[in-house]
Chains A and B, each alone.
Chain A
Amino acid sequence: MSIQPDNRFVDTEPWSDETDFSAPERSDMDAPAWLLTWRKFRRHKLALISGIFLLTCYLILPIAGFIAPYTPNERSADYLYAPPQSINLWHEGSFVGPYVYPIEAEADLEQFRWTYTTDTSTPAPLEYFCEGEEYRLFGLIPSDTHLFCAPEGATVFLWGSDRLGRDVFSRILYGAQLSLTVGLIGITVSFLLGITFGAMAGYFGGKTDWIVNRVIEILRSLPELPLWLALSAAVPSNWGPVAVFFIISIILGILDWPGLARAVRSKFLSLREEEFVNAAEMMGAKPGRVIRRHLLPNFMSHLIASATLSIPAMILGETALSFLGLGLRAPAVSWGVMLNDAQNLASIEIYWWTAIPMLPIIVVVLAFNFLGDGLRASLDPYKG
């Protein structure tokens, strides 16, 4: 490059026939779509943090039994409604390592409740990789090693114990297994239904479109919760917890698809007229192939972003159903089932720790919302 006397720039390189004019000026402009999206997504700090948080949550699920000091239905009959215990490090100025103080229950016959006195003279250091009740790692491998548990003669109720003396912290970890997967199964069902019906309506148009549209309209105009209630009331009471869990997540999904189908349909309506679709059809591609290979990949990422935004609704739905006693039932443990115990004002006032499961619900729902918003923003090619 050189500057001429009249301020023009002139390339000094000799002319070559081999220059590739279609190559982008900067090599990083040629990145695949997912990389471009990732670069944008990285800038949404809140969404990134939420994503990492959720990923950690889901990775912990299979090993919840290992992390929890107790199993979900393990009862400590001597410690009903025990308040949360704290883990301390220093005892009377000297370092002991993580320890708890043993607590002692006493019946208060005037108010008819248990009062607990903390014995602050003898710190009881926690034990690690200790033996406890048996659980199944990954749902398959039987094991009885826990990450940490209480030493002999002491208890470790990080978030207190409930009506039957079960550890709230452990139950929250176990409850996450159901509460967090309900959303995933539900969204899968809703995804399949939504894409199938939306694609059919948008691609074929005409009568199919009319029928699907009416169904969507009807389902969307109905309040969800009463329908959820009615459908889950129809689940036979003699079914096992696992069957109930699956059917509840499917019910949640069945009523969620119309929103998705609507989005898919409107996308299809506009994409159907594109030339690449015409070309594929002229070359003899069947509708199924056109839809799967040519149309869906066009906006799959958007669908995933919107699915992320509807998972929280399902988590909240499961919680509400279980809370009302029509969703999952004991002995299954979910956050909603746990909150069922905190249903009255008395438990909020006296045993406030039984309402702790609301914290993970709020945090997870918030995280899903942030993640979904971030995904949507970074998938939009028109936004800087």
Chain B
Amino acid sequence: MMFLRYAVYRLFTMILTLWVVSILIFIIINLPPGDYLSNQIAELRATGQAAGVAKAEFLRTEYALDRPLWEQYMIWVGFLPGPNGFAGLLQGDFGWSFEFDRPVGEIVGDALWLTVLVNLAAVLFVYVVALPLGVLAAAKSETWVDYTAGFVGYLGLATPNFLLALILFYYGNKYFDLPIGGLMDPALEGEPMSWEKVKSILLHLIVPTFVIGTSGAAAMMQRLRANMLDELSKPYVETARAKGMAPSRMLAKYPLRVAFNPFVADIGNLLPAMVSGSVLVSVVLGLQTIGPSLLTALKSQDQFLAAFILMFVALLTLIGTMISDLLLVLLDPRIRYGSRDA
């Protein structure tokens, strides 16, 4: 019951945060002077194309870009009726992309799921890699295992993601015949889901997952190692050892459990970095996630598209953080409900 109440509370704060974030994003998107359409109108006027101007003017009133900023915001979110009644994010209408001349929902479409997929794969990778390595590095601290793991970890933190991506792609293709670029075989794009397609996506996911996950895994591993070392120096560990408990069993049964909590809580820090990384890596590797669209939209001031993608990215991290908070409460009953600083 307490858990349910906490879950509802977290959901409520998440929605509140999302609302503040939407205001923030809208302001940031509208920071540059002018908008896509007024730039276009000016350009068309200069070249004397009257027909185009009429269309742009029509779109301007259609999407309420001629109104004050706060009204634009309300219409975008769907708190206020626009020229065609309520049609905002809340109503599931994501707006119009002027650059591509198509509804935003249509453009991002599949990319949304692929983004979630790439990030999920990266998070899984981080846990699968960081958990054994972190524990091993702590258990064998100050041996070559520890030093090697530490060095690889530092290197993973220091190498810029996008370079790692390029290099891995090159060598992965050269020596392991891994596919270059994209998230699936071009021939399978737009096809319905099939076993072939799943296989193709999985094969294409290897390099991106590795690239996005490396820095996160390195950071996670170091923290887990530090937590484990703290635990290992406690008297109860000594007692267990003195009583002749097998080291591996002792490790898994006590210190690991305690060190595990920060490991789960950390996803709140991990996820934003991960999503950042996936945007960057997607641009470099040409993955069909929302990364490349975000970049073009930002460069051309395609405001509805950019704002929607930013909102989606924020939503993704917020949901991830919420899930990790809930998991943490389930895992560790000592954590006080309702306060995150405990």
- List chain A positions with a Cβ less than 8 A from chain B: 214, 217-218, 220-227, 229-231, 233-234, 236, 266, 312, 316, 319-320, 323-326, 339, 342-345, 348-349, 355, 358, 361-362, 365-366, 369-370
Given contacts A223-B314, A358-B160, 13 further A-B contacts (CB under 8 A): A218-B24, A220-B272, A221-B318, A222-B21, A223-B275, A225-B277, A226-B313, A230-B28, A231-B28, A320-B160, A326-B299, A361-B160, A365-B158
B160, B167, B280: the one contacting A348 at CB < 8 Å is B167
Q: How far is the CA of A362 from the CA of B157 in the complex (A)?
A: 9
Q: How far is the CA of A309 from the CA of B28 in the complex (A)?
A: 28
A221 touches B33 (CB 8 A): no
Residues of B within 8 A of A319 (CB): 160
Give the residue among A266, A312, A319, A320 with the most B Cβ atoms within 10 A: A320
Residues of A within 8 A of B159 (CB): 358, 362
Residues of A within 8 A of B313 (CB): 223, 226
Residues of A within 8 A of B25 (CB): 230
Q: How far is the CA of A202 from the CA of B173 in the complex (A)?
A: 53
Chain B residue total in the interface (Cβ 8 A):
52
Q: How far is the CA of A331 from the CA of B24 in the complex (A)?
A: 32
Q: How far is the CA of A343 from the CA of B321 in the complex (A)?
A: 33
Residues of B within 8 A of A312 (CB): 157-158
- Check if B295 is an interface residue, CB within 8 A of chain A: yes
B32 touches A236 (CB 8 A): yes
A233 touches B317 (CB 8 A): no
Residues of A within 8 A of B279 (CB): 223, 225-226, 229
Also in contact, A362 and B155, with CB within 8 A (given A236-B33, A324-B283): yes
Q: How far is the CB of A226 from chain B (nearest CB, A)?
A: 5
B280 touches A345 (CB 8 A): no
Q: How far is the CB of A270 from chain B (nearest CB, A)?
A: 12
Residues of B within 8 A of A231 (CB): 28, 31
Closest to B290 in A: A226
3 nearest CB pairs, A to B: A225-B276, A234-B31, A365-B158
Residues of B within 8 A of A221 (CB): 17, 268, 272, 314, 317-318, 321
In B161-218, the 8 Å CB interface with A consists of 161-163, 166-167, 169-170, 180
- Check if B310 is an interface residue, CB within 8 A of chain A: yes
What are 13 sample pairs from A and B whose C-beta atoms fall under 8 A apart? Answer: A223-B317, A224-B276, A226-B275, A229-B295, A233-B306, A236-B32, A320-B162, A342-B166, A344-B166, A345-B170, A348-B166, A355-B163, A355-B166
Q: How far is the CA of A220 from the CA of B274 in the complex (A)?
A: 13
Residues of A within 8 A of B295 (CB): 229, 324, 326
Residues of B within 8 A of A343 (CB): 166, 284
Also in contact, A365 and B157, with CB within 8 A (given A223-B314, A230-B29): yes
- Check if B236 is an interface residue, CB within 8 A of chain A: no
Residues of B within 8 A of A222 (CB): 21, 272, 314, 317
A266, A320, A326, A358: the one contacting B298 at CB < 8 Å is A326
Residues of A within 8 A of B232 (CB): none
Also in contact, A366 and B158, with CB within 8 A (given A226-B310, A348-B167): yes
Residues of A within 8 A of B317 (CB): 221-223
In B96-155, the 8 Å CB interface with A consists of 154-155
Also in contact, A320 and B299, with CB within 8 A (given A221-B318, A223-B317, A366-B154): no
Give the residue among A344, A348, A349 with the most B Cβ atoms within 10 A: A348
Q: How far is the CA of A369 from the CA of B215 in the complex (A)?
A: 13
A233 touches B163 (CB 8 A): no
B158, B180, B274: the one contacting A345 at CB < 8 Å is B180
A223 touches B170 (CB 8 A): no
Give the residue among B160, B279, B283, B321 with the most A Cβ atoms within 10 A: B160
Q: How far is the CB of B278 from chain A (nearest CB, A)?
A: 9
A358 touches B157 (CB 8 A): no
Q: How far is the CA of A1 from the CA of B159 in the complex (A)?
A: 62
A214, A225, A226, A362: the one contacting B158 at CB < 8 Å is A362
Q: How far is the CB of B87 from chain A (nearest CB, A)?
A: 24
